[in-house]
Chain A
Amino acid sequence: MKRFSAFSLVRAALSGQSTWPRQWRSPEPKPSYDVVIVGGGGHGLATAFYLAERYGVRNVAVVEKGWIGGGNTGRNTTIIRSNYLFDESARLYDHALKLWEGLSNALNYNVMYSPRGVLMLAHNIHDVQSFKRHVHANRLNGIDNEWLSPQECKEYCPPLNVGGEMRYPILGAALQRRGGTARHDAVAWGYARAADARGVDIIENCEVTGIRRAASGHVEGIETTRGYIRANKVGVAAAGNTSVVMGMAGIRLPLESFPLQALVSEPVKPVFPCVVMSNTIHAYISQSDKGELVIGAGTDAYTSYSQRGALHIANHTLDAICELAPMFRRLRMLRNWGGVVDVTPDRSPIIAKTPVPGLYLNCGWGTGGFKATPGSGDVFAWTIARNEPHPINAPFTIERFREGVMIDEAAAAAVAH
């Protein structure tokens, strides 16, 4: 791996940038690997990287049916935060956040992790109570999260409509200063390049068509559009397509895949300094380094793999954005796209061993997968390498649904009076 630095960039410039090698190879699949990861998104690539980097498993392949980072990794609104209510989630996401903080240097790839602060707006008294509960729990868990008054919100994020005419006025917000954004594509590419440098084979345009098991039930390998690949351990990190892949091993899951939309505005000069989320009116907004306002919407009502969402969902998101920042009403939507998010009954992920020996599962991230990428990759790699969960992901089993041990962050914010 040719090291990236200001120095190497200048040196390469002198030769017209012609000396850069491939960031990752494009190998033919080998007949056999110790571990095959299904899914070349952020989570799958991170898993491969940590397998090689931290857990000494280097004979690893990542198989991706399209191009790496082409699923939700390249389609999300890149929000990073860890101020979750429950201990289990807080530990998982804060593990990720700590890795984010050093990720550019760990990968030697600038993933542009930008701790710009994440404001979660409260619009009614119930929101205020719920977010304060988060603030208190986070404090005792050692996770930064603080309460801002409406005026403090305005100072932190001047475009916000505080005090103006609003159907649901801003009554305050929870702020996590370490939260922020990162450059989504760079995360996939950075993990790919670093994993590749450690011997991992990244195999694109390779779709899994079957999972082969021995008579004992143990995983033997996978059938792919590029041939059969033997592996004693298979880790599935296929996000929206998880049900399809796991179905090949006869496993039915508590998962449903929904469309989730996002959109960007035309690029404008810096105007929005942080990330603002409003769960109550369904709006998520930040400004990218390029100047585009990056805006997230809610999921569509029905399951779908179509990677597009409905116009009325975009309408509703933008009416919320225009309420929060009325001067953005004249800005224009540049691009609107959809992803497929897999959602569990408690909207928390599954990172676990499965009933099939040698088959491991990482799924169910719903709308929150990007922020967890490094942490998820690390604990999933641990789980695969040691055949037992890391303490952080131990609660995130499939069996919790049978036992009724839900980790339901969304229900914890439920509204009713």
Chain B
Amino acid sequence: MNYRLASGGRMDRTRPLQFTFDGNRYTGFAGDTLASALIANGVHLVGRSFKYHRPRGFLSAGSDEPNALVGVGGIASRYTPNLCATQVELYDGLVAESQNRWPSLSFDVGRVNDVFARFLSAGFYYKTFMWPAAAWKSLYEPMIRKAAGLGKAPSAPDPDRYTQVYVHCDVLVVGAGPSGLAAALAAGRSGSKVILCDEQDQLGGTLLSESEAVIDGQAAAEWLARAIGDLSALPNVTLLPRTTAFGWYPHNFLGLCQRVKDHLGEVDSNAPRERMWQVRAREVVIATGAIERPLLFPDNDRPGIMMAEGARIYLNRYGAVAGTRAVVFTSCDSAYRAAIELKAAGVQVTTIADVRPSPKGPWIERARAAGIEVRGSTVVTGTTGHLRISHVDLVDEVSGKSETLPCDLLLMSGGFTPSVHLFSQSRGKLVYDEALKVYVPGQSVERERSVGACRGIFDLGAAIASGFSGGLDAVKASGGSPVEEATFVVLAESFGQNGVIGRPGKAAKYAGRAWVDFQNDVTTKDIELATREGFRSIEHVKRYTTTGMATDQGKTSNMNALGIVSQTLGVPVDKVGLTTFRPPYTPTTFGVFAGQSRGDLFDPVRKTSIHDWAEEQGAVFEDVSLWKRARYFPRRGEDMHAAVKRECAATRQSVGIFDATTLGKIEVVGKDAAEFMNRMYTNAWTKLEPGRLRYGVMLREDGFIMDDGVVGRMAADRFHVTTTTGGAARVLAQMEDYLQTEWSDLEVWLTSTTEQWAVIAVQGPNARKVLDPLVQDIDLSAAAMPHMSVREGHICGIPMRLFRVSFTGELGFEVNVPMGYGRAVWEAIHASGKAHDITPYGTETMHVLRAEKGYIIVGQETDGTVTPDDAGLSWAVGKAKKDFVGKRSLARPAMTSSDRKQMVGLLTVDPTVVLEEGAQVVADPQEPIPMTMIGHVTSSHWSATLGRSIALGLVRNGRARIGTRLTVPMPSGNVTVEVVRPVFYDPEGKRLDG
């Protein structure tokens, strides 16, 4: 038998394509899907179900397909599991394989589960595997996990690229079937900016498989071609085939996923594999169509049992017949149309079993005229056939007469379920339509309207008309000028709107499992069991049985599950409730969500203007917030410790140079600048004279240290504020918050200047000697420029703010020059320092040098739970000030407790032992676990200067413990430490003057 008809279909028969499925070679045509090509090759068995490993074939021809999931890809890095064969476009050389079977698709050992199905009822795993308790982890769970899952995850990194674009439009039309096309025509002709998207590779929806309808005097296919031509000619219309609107987010923001490249095969090209369109639409027209519902009858899941409309699509769109001898089981007229068309194509369609008592109407007449037997009040009570259906059992519910008919194709139709997913995601209210037995859109929340089949309008003429009106309505609502209403003359036999949900007829009395959710193997019995066990809310039924939770998200199963619950409990359908529709509409690639954010583009990389110099010198960098900071500058053969030892020694003995550009900088300017600083910082600023620096501490309003930094008063009304590297944005945000919303009466302007200044710290006894030759107009002498002062002048002719400040305890300067001059000035200083063996140092040496001096680092000594007093910074708190941010909180009882952790120095009794940062401190090393921890080590280093280890820590009531010994219990043994003042080097500060 040749399953591909000699003519017909929309594929390109001049372009045959080779592909393989499970290693077998087949041929299809350009324009085929993998599903249509397999059907045309007579292949029906394509998958195994999740739990019972039942053999499965194609149920549908669209994205609602629950059975035909395959792995696609010839190379590991492009292998993609769980793709719907009905959505995979064929390309030459396509390699596909079936999933969830071993050793082969036709002989699957897992099938044994089906034999034990009666033990594997819904939720059985909640009732067992509890004994012995330890066996869950070691035995039962691994066993369950191995059995679960569908396809295999790819094993190599994805070589493809994904992109994202943001767009705005007046009208977004989702779905390019007859109603969506009409809506796009209406909006496009009105001049609105329109986007029309559709998940399929071609626009047209049901028109792509329409065989006899006539629209405006043209055959459907011709009308479709003309409509697409008209739309393409409109510059204000963007057509996006292969693009699924997967999610609706607040304020008419929709996510669209466009498949750009997969249909071209596994080729390297510059094109992204997929593109996410993030669309802000003024108005949306939802034209997402409807999905045909399966009927519930025993063993309704065998290969060869298919939706009637699916078979019709394979026939009309792909010229492929899904079988040779067919029986039809239906509750509505639409299946008659499929039966008649298949019969005309040469398929032996013997019988239509119609659950309705006495079906009447034009379709029934036409079927009979075509020689198809029509039986009313007839239901299917069972099927046989192992890897494909071979027989179907029919029962006349009036006479009770039963008959078994041979067939290799059983078509079914229980009516159509509107695709209300996007509408529901938009938070619109759904209402139950008793006549249609479906939910349809009710009241809207967002700016949208549904047209055509997705609102229960199944008649072609009416659907097109509703689409056009919907398009005009959207134009009007978006502020455009709609064109005149248009009328469409549509000649098409309406196929009626009957349908059933739950069990058709009196099927309840026929024994056997009827599948509700095909992929997850949820049967009517499972749902009945769930209701029996008290799971009454539909959400509970869903979660207990897993119905509707498979990769198709219940597109074919949800309404039937509702029907079963309703029938079992005797509760009206609309009282059972409805599960929530969640994005995405169909499974959507992780990569397209991630977009370009990968590798270095994951987060911006901030580099200083001196970065390249450091890189050339072989510096090792660390990430500090978004910045790259040089951590140390190893020379040949040096590890970090050796490099740091050398850098420390050079700075203490002669001079070091350090890139401090990453520090945050904020210019605070205005007549009330000092008052503003008084309120924002713990310190008092009024009396700070221009030209002087002060170390400032900023708290959060809850009293804990938020940030610190040196602040220079440049003029009476101007402060140069520095912040920590990671805190810059936070500090500016807090300043702006208070300035704009609390103290808007203050005349102050804030400007972030972090990116304006390169900062070069020159530290060490020879710092002045290095800078002196380069600075033209500032007297650097200790008398003229004392510690903690700031001057404006020039270095190498470049404008400069020069800070005399030290974070090392040595004589120090910080040179601030415009960012672009950073490297030039750095190199000039470096050259000038050659005579003094100037040594570049990184953050690691900076940490050691400042720890030797007991200077804190916010985020190291503090952690968001530390007050100024805890950190030994009471001296920086302006006691006389009436108020500052955080002051009131410091007065709370727990903030003044004597038992708070306070910063101290910790010296190991054995000076060679370097404590581990984060190690805990106890008073009583004999205490059994859990031990009372009274503190922890915040910083710990080997101090080459002192020839011993040093550490800073926060210890409960620590200042009172100075002179006592405590213990740091480590896995390798206890370390005894002495509590000391947190200044290890030059406590008198004599070296600050060089």
Instruction: Answer whether A and B touch in the complex at a CB cut-off of 8 Å.
Output: yes
Q: Which residues of A contact B (CB under 8 A)?
A: 4-6, 8-10, 13-14, 16-18, 20-26, 66-67, 70, 74, 87, 102, 104-105, 108-110, 112-115, 123-126, 129-137, 139-142, 164-168, 183, 185-186, 189-190, 204, 265-271, 281, 287, 289-291, 306, 308, 310-311, 314-323, 326-337, 345, 400, 402-406, 408, 410-417
Against A, the Cβ 8 Å flags (1 = close, 0 = not) of B570-609 are 0000000000101110011111011101111111010000
Return chain B residues, CB-CB under 8 Å to A411: 704, 863-865
Contact B724 A416 (CB under 8 A): yes
Kindly provide the distance from the CB of B908 to the nearest chain A CB, expressed in whole angstroms: 16
Contact yes or no, B537 A416, CB < 8 A:
no
Contacting residues, chain B, for A123 (C-beta < 8 A) = 623
Given contacts A315-B595, A317-B593, 15 further A-B contacts (CB under 8 A): A10-B119, A17-B525, A110-B136, A166-B602, A268-B82, A269-B152, A315-B164, A329-B158, A329-B589, A331-B589, A404-B895, A412-B863, A412-B864, A412-B865, A416-B730
List the 9 closest A-B pairs by CB distance, nearest first. A411-B864, A291-B149, A133-B918, A416-B859, A22-B534, A404-B892, A326-B157, A332-B587, A319-B594
Q: Would A268 and B149 count as touching, CB distance under 8 A?
A: yes
A334 touches B593 (CB 8 A): no
Q: Are A110 and B129 in contact (CB under 8 A)?
A: yes
Please indicate the chain A residues that have their CB under 8 angstroms from the CB of B144 in the complex: 289
B124 contacts chain A at the CB level, 8 A cutoff: yes
Complex interface: stretch among B182-190, B538-546, B755-763: B538-546
Interface size on B, residues (CB 8 A): 122
Q: Please give me the residue from chain A that is nearest to B602 by CB atom.
A: A167
Which of B529, B702, B865, B929 meets A345, CB within 8 Å? Answer: B702
Q: Which residues of chain A come closer than 8 Å to B543, judged between CB atoms?
A: 74, 185
Contact A114 B137 (CB under 8 A): yes
The answer on a CB contact under 8 Å between B137 and A333 is no
Question: Which of B589, B602, B929 contacts A141, CB < 8 Å?
Answer: B929
Report Cα–Cα, A289/B147, bound state, in Å: 9
A327 vs B77: C-alpha distance in the bound complex, in angstroms?
Answer: 7
Q: Which residues of B from 514 to 571 have beta carbons under 8 Å from A?
A: 525, 529, 532-537, 539-540, 543-544, 546, 549, 551, 553
Measured CB to CB, the closest approach of chain B to A400, in angstroms, equals: 8
A416 to B, closest residue via Cβ: B859
Residues of B whose CB lies within 8 Å of any CB of A are: 50, 77-82, 118-119, 121, 124-131, 133, 136-137, 141, 144-146, 148-158, 160, 162, 164, 247, 249-250, 253, 255, 278, 427, 525, 529, 532-537, 539-540, 543-544, 546, 549, 551, 553, 580, 582-584, 587-591, 593-595, 597-603, 605, 622-625, 702-704, 707, 724-727, 730, 843, 857-860, 862-865, 889, 892-895, 916-920, 922, 929-931, 933, 936, 969, 971
Residues of B within 8 A of A16 (CB): 118, 525
B534 in contact with A23 (CB, 8 Å): yes
Partner of B859, one of A87, A164, A417: A417
Whether B600 and A136, one on each chain, are in contact in the complex, defined by CB atoms closer than 8 angstroms, is no
**Contact, CB under 8 Å: B153 / A268:** yes
Question: Nearest Cβ in chain B — how far from A327, in angstroms?
Answer: 5
Cα of A308 to Cα of B255 in the assembled complex, Å: 14
Taking the closest CB of chain B, its distance from the CB of A26, in whole angstroms, is 7
Given contacts A137-B936, A166-B599, A411-B704, contact A330 B591 (CB under 8 A): yes
Q: Are A112 and B141 in contact (CB under 8 A)?
A: yes
Contact B130 A4, beta carbon cutoff 8 Å:
yes
Partner of A20, one of B529, B540, B583: B529
Asked if A322 meets B148 with Cβ closer than 8 Å, knowing A23-B533, A412-B864, the reply is no
B119 — nearest CB in chain A belongs to which residue? Answer: A13
With A266-B81, A269-B152, A331-B153 as contacts: A311 and B128 at CB distance below 8 Å: no
Contacting residue for B154 out of A25, A105, A320, A331, CB 8 A: A331
Provide the residues of chain B in CB contact with A22, threshold 8 Å.
Answer: 532-534
CA distance A333 to B158 in the complex (A): 16
Residues of A within 8 A of B588 (CB): 332-333
How far is it, in angstroms, between the C-alpha of A271 and the C-alpha of B589 when the chains are bound? 17
Q: Nearest Cβ distance between residue A130 and chain B, in whole angstroms?
A: 7
CB contacts (< 8 Å) of A139 on chain B: these are: 971
Contact, CB under 8 Å: B149 / A332: no
Complex CA distance for A189 and B123, rounded to whole angstroms: 11
Contact check, B597 vs A319: say whether CB atoms are below 8 A apart.
Answer: yes
Pick the contact of A270 from B146, B255, B535 — CB < 8 Å? B146
Contact partner of A9 (CB less than 8 A), chosen from B127, B725, B971, is: B127
The complex places the Cα of A4 from the Cα of B131 at a distance, in Å, of: 11
CB pair B130–A5 under 8 Å, yes or no, is yes
Chain A: minimal CB distance from B665 (Å): 15
In the complex, what residues of A have CB within 8 A of residue B149's CB?
Answer: 267-270, 290-291
| Set of chain B residues within 8 Å of A412, measured between Cβ atoms | 863-865
Please give me the residue from chain A that is nearest to B662 by CB atom. Answer: A417
| B920 and A417 contact, CB distance less than 8 A | no
Residues on B with C-beta less than 8 A from A267 are 50, 82, 148-150, 551
Contact A165 B599 (CB under 8 A): yes
- Asked if A417 contacts B860 (CB within 8 A), the reply is yes
Q: A334 touching B551 by the CB < 8 A rule? A: yes
Cross-chain contact B148 with A408 (CB below 8 angstroms): no
- Contact between B155 and A327 (Cβ–Cβ < 8 Å)? yes
**Most B C-beta atoms less than 10 A away, residue of A136, A290, A337, A417:** A417
Report which residue of B82, B125, B249, B918 has the largest number of chain A beta carbons within 10 angstroms of its beta carbon. Answer: B918
> Looking across the interface, which residue of chain A has its beta carbon closest to that of B255?
A311
In whole angstroms, how far apart are the Cα atoms of A134 and B933 in the complex?
12
- B126–A186 CB distance below 8 A: yes
- Which residues from B are CB-within-8-Å of A164? 157
CB distance from B77 to the nearest CB of A (A): 8
Q: Which residue of B lies closest to A400 (CB)?
A: B894
5 contacts between A and B (CB under 8 A): A22-B534, A140-B969, A267-B150, A269-B149, A319-B594
CB pair B933 A416 closer than 8 Å: no
Known: A66-B537, A326-B157, A414-B864. A335 touches B602 (CB 8 A): no
A20 CA to B529 CA, complexed, in Å: 8
- Which of B128, B162, B537 touches A5 (beta carbons < 8 Å)? B128
Contacting residue for B121 out of A17, A24, A102, A310, CB 8 A: A17
Contacts of A333 in B (CB 8 A): 584, 587-590, 593
Contact between B724 and A417 (Cβ–Cβ < 8 Å)?
A: yes
B residues less than 8 Å from A113 (CB atoms): 136
A9-B124, A104-B133 given as contacts; is B622 within 8 A of A124 (CB)?
yes
A402 to B702, CA, bound (A): 11
In the complex, are the beta carbons of B623 and A168 less than 8 A apart?
A: yes
**Docked complex Cα distance between A125 and B586 (Å):** 41
The closest CB in chain A to the CB of B580 belongs to A337
CB < 8 Å: which of A136, A168, A266, A320 contacts B587? A266
| Other-chain contact of B118, A13, A131, A322, A336 (Cβ < 8 Å) | A13
Please pick, from B157, B598, B703, B707, the residue contacting A416 in the complex, using a CB distance under 8 A. Answer: B707
Q: How far is the CA of A388 from the CA of B16 in the complex (A)?
A: 79
**CB-CB under 8 A for A415 and B859, given A16-B118, A110-B128, A270-B149:** yes
Contacts of B922 in A (CB 8 A): 140
Chain B neighbourhood of A131, CB < 8 A = 918
- Check A124–B624 contact: CB distance below 8 A: yes
Chain B: minimal CB distance from A383 (Å): 22
Residue of A9, A10, A124, A265 most packed against chain B (CB within 10 A): A9
Contact B595 A8 (CB under 8 A): no
Question: Complex formed: what's the CA distance from A110 to B597 in Å?
Answer: 40
A329: which of B151, B253, B540, B594 is its contact (CB, 8 Å)? Answer: B594
What residues on A are CB-neighbors of B860 within 8 Å?
129, 417
B602 touches A13 (CB 8 A): no
Would you call A105 and B539 a contact (CB within 8 A)?
no
Contact (Cβ within 8 A) B971 A133: no
Q: Is the CB of A417 within 8 A of B153?
A: no
A-side contacts of B623, CB under 8 Å = 123-124, 168
Provided the pairs A129-B917, A411-B865 are in contact, do residues A17 and B255 lie with their beta carbons within 8 angstroms? no
A105 near B133 with CB under 8 A, answer yes
Contact A416 B551 (CB under 8 A): no
Q: Name the residue of chain A whose CB is nearest to the CB of B164.
A: A315
User: With A and B bound together, what is the CA distance between A109 and B918 in angstroms?
Assistant: 41
